[in-house]
Amino acid sequence: MVSSWARLDVSPFRLSGTVYGALLNHNSALEALGSAVNAPPYGAPPRAPILYIKPRNTLVGPGHAVEVPTGCDALEIGACLGVVIGRTASRLTPGTALDHVAGYLIVDDISLPHASYYRPSLRFKARDGFCPMGAFVPRAVVADPDCLTIDTFVDDVRVASASTAGAVRKVAQLLADVTDFMTLAPGDVLATGVAAPAPRARAGQAVRIEISLLGSLRHTLVEEGA
């Protein structure tokens, strides 16, 4: 059963909470950085979860035409599993963390391509429309969120395939580590991390992300001002 977003929110599409994303939480993303994690400016591999926020101006529903800013050749498509919080989540333990989850959805955490993770500009991830999200799927549908396949298609050609099994912190552990210092509220979404290399897509192309048990999220890219 896949229920509609309308149960959590009303049009115009807006989440009831805040969308947080975990950076470098997929082994492939960490491996892509390689030994750079020990060199300046990073100096050491990440210790705690590295998080960022997709603000409300980025949130759009399925089918949205996401604008590619003028002067930007392509956008990075960040297919990931989003965990929707159902109950106030503070200081969770991995053993019971999933009890606080209402369900899951597909998140496309879109970025302007950027090479450095040190102090990226807000422009790269917080642009209007840069966080399309799919339909909400109740937790009961997903027995194990840590073995889902994530496929990305651009114009119906599969350009990336990953699995949540490759997460550095699996969903329950990530929730425990995050809620140790910040409480997550019902309606908040935690995007659990993009695998590397993230594919790119250009204006005029159609993006489709499929995650097992969650269905698919489709949206398009258009030129700015189109």
Partner 1 sequence: MMQARVAFGGAIHAAVPHGEHALRLADGRVVAQDAVTWLAPFEVGTIIALGLNYADHAKELSFGAQEEPLAFLKGPGSIVGHRSQTRRPNGVKYMHYECELAVVIGRSAHRVTRATAMGHVAGYCIANDYAIRDYLENYYRPNLRVKNRDGGTVLGPWLVDAADVPDVRDLGLRTYVNGELRQQGNTRDLIFDIPSLIEYLSGFMTLDTGDVILTGTPEGVSNVDAGDEVACEIDGLGRLVNTLVSDTVFDR
- Bridge partner residues of 85 (DSSP): 101
Residue 141 CB contacts under 8 Å (≥ 6 apart), including other chains: 1, 2, 103, 104, 213
82 contributes a contact to partner 1 by CB under 8 A: no
The answer to whether residues 166 and 194 touch, using CB atoms and an 8 Å cutoff, is: no
Where residue 107 falls (left for φ over 0; alpha for ψ -120 to 50; beta otherwise) is beta
Which lies closer to partner 1 via its Cβ, residue 27 or residue 216? 27
126 contributes a contact to partner 1 by CB under 8 A: yes
115 contributes a contact to partner 1 by CB under 8 A: no
- Residue type at 101 in one-letter notation: V
Rounded to 5 degrees, φ, ψ at 182 are -145, 130
Q: How far is the CB of 201 from partner 1 (least distance, A)?
A: 19
Out of 6, 10, 36, 122, the only residue in the binding site for partner 1 (CB under 8 A) is 122
The answer to whether residues 104 and 169 touch, using CB atoms and an 8 Å cutoff, is: no
Q: How far is the CB of 46 from partner 1 (least distance, A)?
A: 6
60 contributes a contact to partner 1 by CB under 8 A: no
90 contributes a contact to partner 1 by CB under 8 A: yes
65-68 and 215-223 strand pairing: parallel
Q: How far is the CB of 211 from partner 1 (least distance, A)?
A: 24
42 contributes a contact to partner 1 by CB under 8 A: yes
Q: How far is the CB of 165 from partner 1 (least distance, A)?
A: 23
Map residue 127 onto helix, strand or coil.
Answer: coil
Out of 64, 127, 170, 208, the only residue in the binding site for partner 1 (CB under 8 A) is 127
Q: Would you tell me which residues interact with partner 1 (CB under 8 A)?
A: 18, 20, 23-24, 41-44, 46-53, 55-58, 69, 90, 117-123, 126-128, 181-185, 188
